[in-house]
Amino acid sequence: MSDDLVFSDEQAEPIARKGLPAWQVLVVDDEPAVHEVTKLVMSDFEMDGRRLEFTHCYSATEARTVLATRSDIALILLDVVMESEHAGLELARYIREELGNLNVRIILRTGQPGQAPEEQVIRDYDINDYKEKTDLTRRKLITVFYAGLRAYRDLMRIEHARLGLRRSIEAISQVCDSRNLRGFASAVLEQVNFLLDLNGEGLCASRVSAYTANSTEGQLKVLAATEAYSQLMVDEEVGNLPRSVQDAIARALLEKTSHHGERHYAGYFKTKAGSESLIYMEFDEPINDQARELLELFSRNVAITYDGLLLREDNQAVQRSTITLLSGAIERRCNESSLHPQRVGDLAALLAGKLGASDHEVELMRVAATLHDVGKVCIPDHILTKPGPLDAQEWETMKTHASEGHALLSRSRSRVHVLAAQIAHEHHEHWDGTGYPQGLKADAISLPGRIAAVADVLDSLASASCYKKAWPLAEALDYLNTESGRHFDPSLVALVNAHRADVENIYKN
């Protein structure tokens, strides 16, 4: 016991200094002397700068318990005869078949030459070597250890490469699911840790030069940071980061290439579109070449995705502003400063969100509902801007705006326009079937159509227009309830009631 302590202390020092974990070796043998000798003769063994660390079991049963909870063992020196004639072989079978541990290298050791295991056992249980216990000389053991540990090391390299590949595919698809640049950048940082199985802290920054979606044109901005860095940063300014991080980032930007130290990695990527993105990570442990290769591969893919995402955000921004301009132009023929289209969009988006639509669907709904009245471009000015009530013929013309809007929007196959066409067509249908243009009833009206009807009337009542004064919001909400089950889908009116505060919020801005 006291021997062990001295021995352990001696070994702990170089392990800690080098920072490389020891090779884990399990000795399973019912003869204590075998443990002693093995430990003694191998005490100064080292491979790839890593020492040995032994775990000792004196029966197959004890070894099962140890193996069931540990996956770090590289080599097992396994006695064949222990509590039973075949206890060692049974354990080998258990390791390969039940635990499914195909990596650990197994060296069988028998007391007598006559106990050689059958060829079938060596083949099926992937036994590396078979030695007689009389071969416990240092020279022989060293050969066995080198062969076994090298085989284990190579197996683990393959395993890591395979795992790394799988993780990088998973990580990239996770990242590609991000809805916006910031979410994307956070996902990148999270996935880097997952990918390398290391605890790292870091940040993502970008300098956008080609697109206008981001207001950061020409300036480096931090998009996301892990906890350690987010605490250092008060805003997106790179200037607030620690000097060493700033230097690493500056160097990458200057050299236009990635660089790394023992524990840090600064990835630099310039996309085809000309934006530059950076990822800076610092790790607790030194990162090896494989990890670096994986980081580089991952980051390259991330840069490509980033470009696509920028383009998408830019497209969305252009789409939104076009729609706002157009719908505003229509409305301004009637009311100089109407926010009606946007508010209908916001209300419809709110309701879709409360119904559980995804963020993406909510945004689709917002844009599509904004377009509900585009058919009014076809309505002559004298009708559209008439200060008083419409006569019967004017009213017939006015009602065509639903079908006209549908016809206009149906020319496009884009998702947002398909949804907008449906909304334009159905936003004046009534739940009880008395609406226009088709007289659809209840569920025959699409959900987006029913949502738009509630949003349109609520906002129309709450806003001033050329033919009426604005109603107080509370009265407009009362009107919805009066018409619940007549004009409106009762479940949507209930939804509005349940989220009255959110509705009121839309009118505070």
Contact between 270 and ligand C2E by CB under 6 A: the answer reads no
Question: CA distances (Å), 245 to each of 109, 159, 196, 199, 297, in order?
Answer: 54, 33, 20, 17, 22
Based on the shown chain and the rule CB under 6 A, indicate whether residue 465 belongs to the binding site for ligand C2E: yes
Per annotation, catalytic residue among 376, 399, 469, 508: 376
Our finding on whether 361 is near ligand SIN (CB under 6 A) is yes
Residue 262 within binding range of ligand SIN, rule CB under 6 A: yes
DSSP state at residue 474: H
Looking at residues 430 to 449 of the shown chain, list those that interact with ligand SIN (rule: CB under 6 A).
Answer: 448
Residue 460, interface with ligand C2E (CB under 6 A)? yes
Residue number, 56 or 372, with CB nearest to ligand SIN: 56
Residue 448-467 contact track with Fe ion, rule CB under 5 A, x = bound: --------x-----------
Classify 301 as helix, strand or coil. helix
User: CB of 243: closest distance to ligand SIN in angstroms?
Assistant: 12
Residue 54 or 184: the one with the smaller Cβ distance to ligand SIN is: 54
Rounded to a whole number of angstroms, the distance between the first and last alpha carbons of the chain is 76
Q: Which one of Fe ion, ligand C2E, ligand SIN, none is in contact with 389 (Cβ closer than 5 to 8 A by kind)?
A: ligand C2E
Q: Is residue 395 a contact partner of residue 379, using CB atoms and an 8 Å limit?
A: no
Report the alpha-carbon distance of residue 459 to residue 137 in Å, rounded. Answer: 91
In whole angstroms, the minimum distance from the beta carbon of 163 to ligand C2E comes to 58
One residue of 205, 457, 480, 493 binding ligand C2E per CB under 6 A: 457
Residue nearer to ligand C2E on the CB measure, 202 or 405: 405
- What is the torsional sign of CA 220, 221, 226, 228? positive
What is the crossing angle of helices 401-409 and 392-399, to 10°?
20
CA distance 445 to 282: 56
Is 56 or 427 the residue whose CB approaches ligand SIN more closely? 56
332 is a site residue for ligand C2E (CB under 6 A) = no
Q: How far is CA 55 from CA 5, 34, 120, in A?
A: 14, 13, 28
Q: Which of 42, 75, 56 is nearest to 141 (CA)?
A: 42
| Residue 376 annotated among the catalytic residues of the structure | yes
For the CB of residue 414, give the shortest distance to ligand C2E in the complex, in Å: 24
Q: Please report how close the Cβ of residue 435 comes to ligand C2E at its closest, in angstroms.
A: 8
Residue ranges in 46-65 that form contacts with ligand SIN under rule CB under 6 A: 53-54, 56
Across-strand partners of 173?
none
CA angle 459, 460, 462 (to 5 degrees): 60
Task: Name the residues that contact ligand C2E, by CB under 6 A.
Answer: 373, 386, 389-390, 398, 428, 456-457, 460-461, 465-468
Active site positions, annotated: 376
